[in-house]
Amino acid sequence: MQRRSFVKSIAAGAVVTAVSLIPGRYALAADTIKVGVLHSLSGTMAISETVLKDVTLMAIDEINAKGGVLGKKLEAVVVDPASNWPLFAEKARQLLTQDKVAVVFGCWTSVSRKSVLPVFEELNGLLFYPVQYEGEELSKNVFYTGAAPNQQAIPAVEYLMSKEGGGAKRWVLLGTDYVYPRTTNKILRAFLKSKGVDDKDIDEKYTPFGHSDYQTIVADIKKFAAGGKTAVVSTINGDSNVPFYKELGNAGLKATDVPVVAFSVGEEELRGVDTKPLVGHLAAWNYFMSIKNPVNDAWKKEWAAYAKAKKLPGADKPLTNDPMEAAWIGIHMWKQAVEKAKSAEVDKVITAMAGQTFKAPSGMTSKMDEKNHHLHKAVFIGEVQANGQFNVVWKTPGPVKAQPWSPFIAGNDKKKDEPEKK
């Protein structure tokens, strides 16, 4: 898999004069509004996160070309937390206290988000998080533009259980060993039990970040599948996806035998994989590059031109994916909220974010929920094609409201669908 090169630094813009200790309060005190970009540009997650940095910078360029925000240009401050979870917290603190950014766009893994969350809450910073996750969190300092489990994981499993999706009876829940896969699988196990699936028909497996030898695991899946119609739900993250999918191909495990549905594999992760043996395996997302509509066509063209102009790795085969779309929606909604609030001050922007809408490349108008800091998102299930793209085989009729607190976890019915005021 081709690793993307990264920007270590960008030219410094005008100095921002602080007029308050709280991030965002002074964001309009200079010629620019500083925004932080907090994505891993090295390490195991660079395969997925580098492109989110790139698309965020493209959005900033586009916004600046149209006059900026409140008449001021946006100035990106790019840092590399290097797939190192404690370093995420250090870099977040640096962005808020030293660089004095008004907002941060960043993180992929939930462990990185959990690492930075106390920093954003302590300093009253603002984070836009663009990746699907396990839910079970609601902070006033975060806007979640990726999917909650009811907008990705649950619909995908329901599809695989259906006649249309193959009627799976046995389940392998395979993930990277950290909070997102474990919590998602806790929810899925409870959901499967509610549908009458026995424990003996659920096999849960975890591998560390950066794991590369999937021979034994794929052999175990084949053995387990001999006991009845089986599907694999994959929450493998980062560059481990490459050896996993290669091993599926080597073992001749076809989608017609044991379909794999992935929640963290999109067009970018398949870039370096021979996808011919993987045809028919599935991914569940809220956007695919192959979706046809004028907004997506224009966005793909803009991205291709940007990648070429900036000489980005992979510019010869420019790809878009779901987290890129979520990042794109997030920065544009933030811009709209700043303009509505007539201020980049965090608390004013949070209030102005409620109910914001944006015509997304998915073809849907995405709406930020009035209360729960999550987007209403349509759900798509796509089959891998020989060219590394996805063919949509199922979708929701329209956007689905997020449930941050899953009804399949005990006690969640007593939790509020909005952040606590602190």
Ranges under pLDDT 70 in the chain:
1-29, 422
Q: How many Å apart are CA 391 and CA 283, to the nearest integer? A: 10
pLDDT (0 to 100) of residue 310: 97
Neighbours of 264 (CB within 10 A): 25
DSSP H or E run through 87: helix 85-93
Beta strand 170-176 with 230-235 is parallel
* pLDDT of amino acid 93: 98
Q: What is the pLDDT of residue 351?
A: 98
Please tell me the predicted confidence (pLDDT) of residue 175: 98
Q: What pLDDT does 277 receive?
A: 87
Q: Is 148 exposed, middle or buried (0-12, 13-18, 19+ CB in 10 A)?
A: buried
* Residue of 162, 159, 183, 163 lying closest to 173 (CA atoms): 183
Q: How far apart are CA 152 and CA 317, in angstroms?
A: 27
Task: Please report the pLDDT score of residue 274 as a whole number.
Answer: 87
From CA 383, how far away is CA 388, in angstroms rounded?
Answer: 10
**298-321 pLDDT, tens per residue?**
999 999 999 999 999 999 999 999
Give me the DSSP letters along 325-378.
HHHHHHHHHHHHHHHHHTS--HHHHHHHHTT-EEE-TTSSEEEE-TTTSBEEB-
Q: 259-292, pLDDT tens digit by residue?
A: 999 999 999 989 888 898 899 999 999 999 999 9
Q: pLDDT at position 420, please?
A: 85
State the DSSP code for 94.
I
- Cα(209)–Cα(133) distance, integer angstroms: 17
Q: What is the CA radius of gyration of the chain?
A: 21
Read off the amino acid at residue 370.
E
pLDDT at residue 272 in the model: 80
What are the backbone angles phi and psi of residue 170, rounded to the nearest 5°?
Answer: -120, 150
Element (H, E) at 123: helix 110-123
